């Protein structure tokens, strides 16, 4: 499964958990970090953790394994690293503060 296909699975998982303002960014040709970012917001720590768990489970079922995660215990910004796909889950304040949507403004939104 390529990064774009995995991003669509992640997007669907986030929609299932009522993630807000979900964006899929195509970073191919713009960055060596990853081919895709998925960025979404949640209302509280419990929702962000549920969103992270759902993404990890759905992608695992598709054969995509989580390489590394950060921020699960803090619950304000959770990063899920699937190799060529990075999933960023924020509470609203952190998302506005870090502005990844704007930092990667040159990326094509899918």
Output helix, strand, coil percentages for the chain, rounded to the nearest 5. 40, 30, 35
- Structural element, H or E, at residue 60: helix 45-61
pLDDT at 106 > cutoff 90: no
Helices 3-16 and 45-61, axial angle in degrees (round to 10) = 140
Q: How confident is the model at residue 107 (pLDDT cuts 50, 70, 90)?
A: low
pLDDT digits 0-9 by tens, 25-81: 988 888 888 899 999 999 999 999 999 999 999 999 999 999 999 999 988 999 999
Answer with the residue of higher pLDDT: 99 or 23. Answer: 23
Check: CB of residue 93 under 8 Å from CB of residue 101: no
Distance CA 29, CA 21 (A): 24
Distance CA 101, CA 97 (A): 11
pLDDT digits 0-9 by tens, 96-105: 999 887 777 6
């Amino acid at each position: 499964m390529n990064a774009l296909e995995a991003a669509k699975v992640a997007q669907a998982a986030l929609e299932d958990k009522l993630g807000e303002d979900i964006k899929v960014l195509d970073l191919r040709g713009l960055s060596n970090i990853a081919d895709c970012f998925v960025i979404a917001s949640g209302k509280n720590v419990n929702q962000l953790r549920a969103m992270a768990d759902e993404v990890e489970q759905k992608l695992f079922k598709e054969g995509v394994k989580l390489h590394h995660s950060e921020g699960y215990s803090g619950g304000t910004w959770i990063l899920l690293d699937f190799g060529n796909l990075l999933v960023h889950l924020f509470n609203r304040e952190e998302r506005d503060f870090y502005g990844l949507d704007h930092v990667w403004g040159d990326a094509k939104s899918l």
